[in-house]
């Protein structure tokens, strides 16, 4: 198992950085010398995470508040980051949510798909030139196997809503996006990964909430973040563009998640949806 290299001098953007995997990854990357750019909804938690990630003599973390249920705010965030950073070495698209009931955003999309896929897709597109020579890392899940993505039905309106199924479908979209980004953006190392089953705050209000918050057999957030930190810092030659990883190892994908034609259709549909 390859040890993580350092991130000294590299600008790393982490979305969903105020709790769970995102927070743990940010703290670990700070130890590796990264210039952290933290993105989250809650300004107080952002400030607290930035304070915890500060290292004596190291670059001071910077925080940007954005609610991914509003694509307008994602566009504003993209402009903020473009104005502030001439180069972004790593974009860790980690923000995620699970909703107990069918929720439609002001943009007209099912909220799970918007937060977990469309918002990150839009942000990556807005930062495309800043990411040249860098990395795009999407937090997915082995739950993707229960997803049923349809490029012409991103909100899943054809099916009865289920929180778990909506989440799984969004995670399938993450894998497909990494595959297609690797094809369309050859100068960006795009990958996705499975963090394992982790004790996090995700799923509040759903039947899964207690399972993810209190199950003593689940991974800690730090353990779940390990592969993300490794993907951000490992030598590029050790990684496969478009690959899906778990426990620092490349994992095969099949079914819809391995369908390159579907990946291309999803990309085009996502680009149209986010204008």
Instruction: Please give the Cα distance from 66 to 76 (Å, whole number).
Output: 9
Torsion region of 247: left, alpha or beta (phi above 0 gives left; psi -120 to 50 gives alpha): left
Helix, strand, coil: what percent of the chain each, to 5?
45, 15, 40
Dist CA 131 CA 140 (whole Å): 20
* 99 in active site: no
Looking at the DSSP bridge assignments, the partners of residue 129 are none
Could you tell me which residues come within 8 angstroms of residue 32 by beta carbon, excluding any fewer than 6 positions away? 4, 5, 6, 7, 8, 229, 233
H helices within 39-162, ranges in order? Answer: 43-53, 71-84, 111-113, 119-126
In the set 85, 99, 161, 167, the catalytic residue is: 167
Number of H helices, E strands in the chain: 9, 8
Please list, in sequence order, all residues whose beta carbon lies within 8 angstroms of the beta carbon of residue 79, skipping any fewer than 6 positions away.
126
Catalytic center residues: 167
């Amino acid at each position: 198992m390859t040890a993580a290299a350092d991130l000294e001098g590299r600008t790393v953007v982490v979305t969903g950085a105020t709790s769970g995997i995102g927070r743990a990854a940010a703290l670990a990357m700070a130890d590796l010398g990264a210039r952290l750019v933290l993105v989250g909804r809650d300004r107080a938690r952002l400030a607290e995470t930035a304070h915890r990630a500060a290292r004596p003599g190291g670059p001071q973390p910077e925080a940007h508040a954005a609610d991914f249920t509003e694509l307008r705010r994602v566009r504003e965030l993209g402009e903020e980051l473009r104005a502030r950073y001439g180069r972004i070495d790593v974009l860790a698209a980690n923000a995620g949510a699970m909703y107990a009931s069918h929720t439609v955003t002001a943009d007209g999309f099912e909220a799970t798909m918007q937060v977990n896929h469309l918002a990150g897709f839009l942000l990556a597109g807005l930062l495309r030139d800043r990411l040249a020579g860098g990395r795009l890392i999407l937090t997915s899940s082995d739950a993707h196997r229960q997803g049923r993505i349809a490029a012409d039905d991103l909100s899943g309106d054809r099916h009865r809503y289920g929180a778990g199924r909506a989440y799984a479908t969004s995670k399938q979209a993450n894998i497909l996006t990494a595959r297609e980004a690797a094809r369309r953006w050859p100068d960006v190392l795009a990958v996705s990964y499975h963090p394992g089953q982790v004790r996090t705050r995700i799923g509040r209000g759903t039947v899964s909430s207690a399972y993810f918050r209190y199950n003593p057999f689940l991974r800690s957030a730090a353990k779940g973040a390990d592969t993300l930190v490794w993907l951000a810092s490992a030598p590029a030659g050790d990684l496969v563009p478009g690959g899906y990883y778990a426990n620092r190892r490349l994992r095969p994908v099949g079914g819809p998640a391995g369908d390159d034609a579907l990946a291309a259709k999803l990309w085009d549909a996502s680009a149209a949806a986010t204008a």
